[in-house]
Amino acid sequence: MIRKHRQLACAATLVAALAMAAPAAAAPQVDTSALRNAVTYDGIHEHLEALQALAVPFEVGGAPTRATGTDGHKNSVAYVVERLEAAGYDAIEQDFLADIFVEESAAFARNGVPYPRYDGETGVWYTADFSGTGDATAAAVAVDFTPPTDQASASDSGCEAEDFGPEVVGKIVLLQRGTCDFGLKAELAGEAGAIGAVIFNEGTIGQADRNDVLIPTLAGYTVTIPVVGTDYATGFELVQASQAPGGVTVTVSVQGIVQQDVETANVIAETPGGRADRTVVVGGHLDSVFEGPGINDDGSGVGTILETAEAMADLPAPRNKVRFIFFSGEEQGLLGSEYYVSQLGKKALQDISVMLDYDMLASTNFARLIYDGNGDEHGFAGPNGSGVVEQVYKDWYDSQGLSYQTIPFDGRSDYDAFTTAGVPAGGIFAGAEELKTAEQVELFGGELGEPLDPCYHQACDTLDNISELALTQHKDAAVHAVGTFAQTTSSVNGTGKASSSSTKAWDWKGDHQVR
């Protein structure tokens, strides 16, 4: 997922919602057992085995990959089309052209001495997703540094244009994680005349995920300068050095090439029956990063969606049409989903009742995470009906006696194009590079302080990076939601009646909401 990575861009912390109610008190509204029983772990794993076998190295000596534009991705498209057509669907390849950025080199240094790049285990920095390119060496300037406490930071470092005075022109800015998107910080820095940026973690005392290496995503913003992410200790060291006599010189370099007009395609199939004016879109991304084959990210989602489509083909037609979409170019900036939505007319868009996004369902150090559709826990909601989607997942986990947490819509996966267009959406997530907290260990088990997916965006994201327990639990929740919305008799978005709490006095602007 384009979560690539990534620490959440918002300052809100994950909110735990213990879900230990007795099954009888939280029985799901729709019986989806036939569909859930037909979608098996073994069936999904068969698809994962195929995707791994279809991955091909992008370059000599490189890891097998299914990145957009590569032979591995083309093989993946052909495989999904073949399986869908064998199940009786009319599979459509929606062709489009994509601009693909391929990083060739990057560097981060202090006074000419390189810092070690983060490799998933060691190192202190990583290139920000969707960084600008260039070689920048200049004095460093700290922007609104806030000393951390034992509570989440209220730092607004670089969140407003006024934060960048004339002193940043021609300099490298040091930006602290805080209350606004990483991309906003980097965009404003470039507009103010900075020639490079270092975004460092916030530093909350006693919270590993607020101190370790950041891999910030800048998606959705126009960033023209090279940007890297680093840990709090490195960032604080540079802040201190920048304020000392003589200052400090920092190098930030990101070099790459943009492959323009790369031919690629989304794959689309839908049930032949069902009400078209209540179409349920079920989506995940078919591409991986260049660094690996992406069997969890997002083979796990693709395998689950494909197995669900095959299972539905053998069951009675659903009440509402279900459309399965396998997006291309997600890891390059949600390109496939944005293209798909851009091609919809007003009526076709209105006919989509809900979008269910499945991106990373089998993380080995997993959590059970649900998007906060109504915004009551993280401060901002999806379009009307998104709160109902959230509740469907909560009710399911409640019925199984399983705990969960909610996470905000952060604009890092394919749901974003739909929520931006006003379509209610939701999904579940097993976790990416975020480090497991003590609270999450209590709720879900696993390893404290380790990434939820230890092979996130790495060559080791193979079949060995799949948790059978995580995939089984997440696939049941995912398939239950598909079955629920496929069978709803509601005339509004969602099951039953749309939740009033999912309506907020906000408008969407890109992947943000503004009053």
Give the residue numbers annotated as catalytic, written as ranges.
Answer: 330
- Scan for tokens 């806030």, then name that residue: 146
Q: What stretches of 39-114 show up as alpha helix (H) in DSSP?
A: 41-54, 71-86
* φ, ψ at 25 (rounded to 5°): -85, -10
One-character DSSP codes across 291-357: TS--IIIIIIHHHHHHHHHHHHHTSPPPSEEEEEEEES-GGGTSHHHHHHHHT--HHHHHTEEEEEE
How many angstroms separate the CA atoms of 433 and 8, rounded? 10
Distances 507 to 184, 210, 380, 416, 421 between C-alpha atoms, Å: 18, 30, 10, 14, 10
Burial class (CB in 10 A: 0-12, 13-18, 19+), 385: buried
Selection from 192, 300, 422, 475 nearest residue 184 by Cα: 192
- Scan for tokens 């604080």, then name that residue: 236
Question: End-to-end distance of the chain based on CA atoms, in angstroms?
Answer: 28
Q: Which helix (H) or strand (E) holds 398?
A: helix 386-400
- Scan for tokens 């007319």, then name that residue: 345
Going by C-beta distance under 8 Å and a sequence separation of 6 or more, which residues neighbour residue 297? 1, 288, 289, 359, 360, 432, 453, 456, 457, 461
Selection from 179, 289, 310, 174 nearest residue 235 by Cα: 174
How many angstroms separate the CA atoms of 239 and 246, rounded? 13
> Is residue 144 within 8 Å of 176, Cβ to Cβ?
yes
Neighbours of 182 (CB within 10 A): 30
- Taking phi over 0 as left and psi of -120 to 50 as alpha, with beta for the rest, 375 belongs to left
How many angstroms separate the CA atoms of 110 and 112, rounded? 5
- Scan for tokens 């990373």, then name that residue: 360
